[in-house]
Amino acid sequence: MIRAATPLDVPSILGLIQELAEYEKLRDSCISTESLVHEALFGSNPSAESVVAEVNGEVTGFALYFTNFSTFLGRPGMYLEDVYVKPEYRNRGIGKQILKKLATICLERGYGRFEWSVLDWNEPSINFYQSLGAVAMDEWTVYRLSGEALRSFVENDFCEPAEASV
């Protein structure tokens, strides 16, 4: 069963986030806590939403997503930050059910698109997404400022190259 997450699911969601970080070889980057997850999903100003997959009362997978916006479509969309199913529950259609639930939410809310990123080495996930009809946006490169680079950008004056445009 796929259902909306509740505050009682936060410990399970954090555990799955940590498993995902391990799988993606990013465990050292995972500093999330139950408190941070709870605030993001259920605090006074939620910044994300989550669904969980449940099998016999056990949370076996989750997806965490948030609203983005397409200026070209003039409508909001959904960005899937993470989806993860415990290894022992894979190949049972749970991942597909999670994505179908999110796609249904997109349609119900009138969203213009449903997007996510995948690590380029994650061949099983890439094949799975392509089997659903998802299309890689190869012409786009994701850029990120975080941590010290973000702080440094805010605190320092940088000279932009003459040809740069925003």
Q: Which string of b and e fits 131-154 if b means at least 16 CB within 10 Å?
A: eeeeeeeeeeeeeeeeeeeeeeee
Name the catalytic one among 23, 65, 129, 143.
129
Angle at 15 between CA 36 and CA 151, to 5 degrees: 40
Distance between CA atoms of residues 53 and 20, nearest Å: 15
Label the pairing between strands 2-4 and 114-116. Answer: unpaired
Nearest to 17 by CA among 55, 68, 52: 52
Q: Is 129 a catalytic site residue?
A: yes
Active site residues: 129
